[in-house]
Amino acid sequence: MSGNVVNNDLEAKIIEAAKSLFIEKGFAETSMSEIATRVGINRPGLHYYFRTKDKMFQAVFGMIGQAILPKVQDILSQQDIPLSQRIETVIDTYYTTFRKAPYLPLFMLKEMQRDVDHLLNALSNSPAKEALDKLIAGLQEEMKQGKLRPVPLRVVFFTFYSLMACPFLTKNFSSRLFLSENESFEEMLAEWKPYIVMQMENLLCVK
């Protein structure tokens, strides 16, 4: 029993180290040796858990997706709650995730450009795929019932993720350009949040 706990702990450390390096450097620029070094084990020890870097990427991407998508799906499925409140809670979920991993939006953007098939394959093999499918089906059902405006899902995706990720993608530039000495990035995020809600309401709410 204790051996299994040790194995599980080490596997979790490997995934966490791989996630950090993938986000910092990108998938292509990260080597198995770097991951092993960060964990403090040798290459054979790493290969015992993950034979290839692709398998490791699937585990990492699955962990990222599982940390966000089921929560978002659960929030949006609560149709008795006004859309504005649901959107606010979804934004808070992403803010929490991006605060812990501020390079995550850039990592996802780079991977979409570098090898979209690789990313989609990792998604299709992730337990988060079920949550994503339910999320999409839920939005489509609300549109069908007339509770939401029938907007193409790609427009919903483009609008929300552009608004959500932009502050993090442009943090260094926008902080230098727009923040005064007494303001913080957190204050800028708080100011930006109601504008995201407003834009999504304008897009989806039935007038």
Please give the structure tokens belonging to residue 7: 């194995």
- Strand, helix or coil at 77? coil
Q: Are 34 and 53 in contact (CB under 8 A)?
A: no
Same domain assignment for residues 7 and 89: no
Domain-ending residue, one of 31, 51, 71 = 51
Query: Helix axis angle, 185-204 relative to 171-178, nearest 10°?
Result: 110
Question: How many domains does the chain contain in total?
Answer: 2
Residue-wise pLDDT for 62-79, tens only, equals 888 888 999 999 999 999
Please give the angle made by the CA atoms of 119, 83 and 138, to the nearest 5 degrees: 50
Q: Is the same domain home to 1 and 65? A: no
- The CATH number assigned to the domain holding 21 equals 1.10.10.60
Q: What is the mean pLDDT of the chain?
A: 90
- Provide the whole-model pTM: 0.84
Give me the torsion for CA of 176, 101, 23, 58, rounded to 10°.
Answer: -150
List the Cα angle 198/90/117 in 5-degree steps.
105
**86-137 pLDDT tens trace:** 999 999 999 999 988 888 898 888 888 888 888 888 888 888 899 999 999 9
- Asked if residues 76 and 38 have their Cβ atoms less than 8 Å apart, the reply is no
Domain end, chosen from 16, 32, 51, is at 51
pLDDT for position 4 = 56
Q: Are 148 and 204 in contact (CB under 8 A)?
A: yes
Same domain, 175 and 119: yes
List the CATH number of the domain containing 196.
1.10.357
Is residue 118 domain-shared with residue 43, that is, in the same domain?
no
> What is the domain range of residue 102?
53-204
CA 123/CA 126 separation, integer angstroms:
5
